[in-house]
Amino acid sequence: MTTATHHTSAHSAAKKPPLLARAVRRTWRGLPPRQYDVLCERGLVVPAADGSPLLTDHYFPRADGDFPTLLVRSPYGRGIPWAPMFGLLFAEQGFHVVLQSARGTGGSGGEYALWQHEAADGQAAVAWLREQPWFTRVLGTIGPSALGYAQWALAADPPPELRAMVVQVGLHDIHGFFYPSGPFALENSLVSAVGRLHYGRGALAMVRAALRLQRQLPRIARTLPLGEAYVPGLGGRVPFLDEALSRPDPDDAHWRGADAGVAAVRSTVPTSLITGWYDVCLDQTMQQYDRLRRAGCDAALLVGPWTHNTAMQQGWPEVFAESLAWLRAHLCDDPSGLREARARVHVGGRQEWRDLPDWPPAATDRRWYLTGDGLLSDRAPEAAPPLSFRYDPADPTPSVGGPLLSRTAGPRDNAALEARGDVLTFTTPPLTEPADVLGTVGVDLRVGTDTGHADVFVRLCDVDERGRSVNVCDGIRRLDPATAAAGPAEVTVEMSPTAHSFAAGHRIRLQVSGGAHPRFARNTGTGEPPATATRLVPTEITVHHPSALVLPQTNP
């Protein structure tokens, strides 16, 4: 291994980290003690692949010696929270931290693009690192959300120096973010666009943009066509959003190269994956883990009771400890902080952490059949009449909680939602013993429609003794018009994975409806493209028997 001795005197422009970053750092509790004082070089200019100047900050321990390097590439600026969260905290623990603003963001030159420059600019950043006297050629990457995508893009052709990755609530498939399971993810796409456009422009700009979208979202969600309706809420046209709306097909040439998840299929870079049960990137994280395990790659998984945002807020002590242990093990040859179990998950209901040898754990699929009188039964009903409801896109079934980027994310009481006429519910009797569900939940449905154009949204809920119905996980699927209109089609709607224990005395509930709005753009009932649809047609959706909820149950 090539080594280089780091001398703080060589950094004549180095100063203390920004005062605001130091102030934020002091607010965090439950973190390990600082090992080093930190210095920072701000506003370094690093050339992108096309020569565009990328502004970069370098945080490092105020000490002589060799330290590994962490590369953090961000489209959200280099200030709060990244400066204290990565720059300060990890430099305090003995790492060089290179925090770089992606092309066209945070003061960096060039034109911004969602994914097109990530791989090449990541490689350019590593090329610059090789020229630095303090770079020991021991490199790790870290970061959440879009910062996780930057890691996967670099890992598609991993530089030889890359020894470890920590992907926190991260995505690898850009199209899959906009269209996670068929329908357009309206609310999350708009909120994400605000972040990408304004986060790196300072707190005031971000707050103003977020408040504008909050005011405009109800009108956007109920106005057609969507390709025009969103413009006032974002303050103008957004090219990458226009492309997403107008190109729903994942095989469209526009999306070529947008899925960096292929890196996990052949990766040999030890990777720690961190997510939450209500994270918008949960499904993609689980795909990443499955691919890494199949490739024989060293991988670890941490899943907490978090949303996309709270994982990096309330969950930060656990997330930081997990990240630091992984990086020390693979960059510093210090495995003392690693847990023995490959996977660690928080089990809802029990409110406890559980270590597992792998994910998903061994489980037995238990089928709960939907009956004609709204029950979930362990026996298939005989000659039960089908159940129908009318989905009206002019009065769409609302979304309540779940994996959102807004503050309304997470577990919520669904009682008001379940009282609507366009939501079917099926519920077990009170359980006589706990039921632990760990894995991917599915619903096998026999379903038809009168128009053929419909979505089916399903949700698993935990109903307590007081009747409070709290969402555990959910999923949505767009029906095939040809088969859905011809007669009852057999479809499986997968929900996101979960780890949840239903307590004795509680009831298991399944919701079946035609959408979750504005989390997903409503199905207009016409088959018109989402960007240009202008008509709304109600749809009758009929659930036929036998249909069943399939739960992967484990021994409590």
How many C-alpha atoms does 39 have within 13 Å on its Cβ side? 15
The C-alpha atoms of residue 330 and residue 164 are separated, in whole angstroms, by 6
The C-alpha atoms of residue 397 and residue 476 are separated, in whole angstroms, by 13
**Tokens 């009932």, residue located:** 525
Comma-separated ranges of CATH 3.40.50.1820 domains in the chain: 1-137, 138-172+259-339
Q: What is the mean pLDDT of residues 470-495?
A: 92
What are the distances in angstroms from CA 65 to CA 7, 68, 100, 166?
7, 10, 24, 24
Q: In what order do the strands lie in the sheet with 38-47?
A: 38-47, 53-61, 96-101, 69-74, 139-145, 162-170, 271-278, 299-307, 343-347, 352-356
User: With 60 as the cut, is the pLDDT of residue 483 above it?
Assistant: yes
C-alpha 148: how far from chain center: 10
**Are the beta carbons of 396 and 407 closer than 8 angstroms?**
no
User: What percentage of the chain has pLDDT greater than the value 90?
Assistant: 88
**Are the beta carbons of 391 and 520 closer than 8 angstroms?**
no
Report pLDDT digits (tens) over 502-538.
999 999 999 999 999 999 999 999 999 989 999 999 9
The C-alpha atoms of residue 34 and residue 56 are separated, in whole angstroms, by 24
Comma-separated ranges of CATH 2.60.120.260 domains in the chain: 364-554
Give me the architecture of the 1-137 domain, per CATH.
Answer: 3-Layer(aba) Sandwich (3.40)
Arithmetic mean of pLDDT over the chain? 94
The C-alpha atoms of residue 83 and residue 129 are separated, in whole angstroms, by 19
Q: What is the mean pLDDT of residues 204-209?
A: 91
Has this prediction a pTM greater than 0.85?
Answer: yes
User: With 80 as the cut, is the pLDDT of residue 8 above it?
Assistant: no
Q: What is the mean pLDDT of residues 1-10?
A: 42
User: With 70 as the cut, is the pLDDT of residue 6 above it?
Assistant: no
The C-alpha atoms of residue 173 and residue 169 are separated, in whole angstroms, by 13
User: SS3 for 322?
Assistant: helix
User: With 80 as the cut, is the pLDDT of residue 3 above it?
Assistant: no
User: With 60 as the cut, is the pLDDT of residue 4 above it?
Assistant: no
The C-alpha atoms of residue 45 and residue 51 are separated, in whole angstroms, by 10
User: First and final CA of the chain: distance in angstroms?
Assistant: 48
Alpha helical stretches, state H, 332-443: 415-418
pLDDT of residue 12: 57
Give me the architecture of the 364-554 domain, per CATH.
Answer: Sandwich (2.60)
The DSSP code sequence of 159-184 is -TTEEEEEEEEE-SBHHHHH-SSSS-
User: With 80 as the cut, is the pLDDT of residue 221 above it?
Assistant: yes
**Are the beta carbons of 173 and 180 closer than 8 angstroms?**
no
Q: What is the mean pLDDT of residues 325-353?
A: 97
Give residue 7's pLDDT band: very low, low, confident or very high (50, 70, 90). very low
The C-alpha atoms of residue 539 and residue 373 are separated, in whole angstroms, by 22
Span of 193-202, 354-363, 445-454 with lowest mean pLDDT: 193-202
CATH superfamily of 138-172+259-339: Alpha/Beta hydrolase fold, catalytic domain (3.40.50.1820)
pLDDT of residue 556: 62
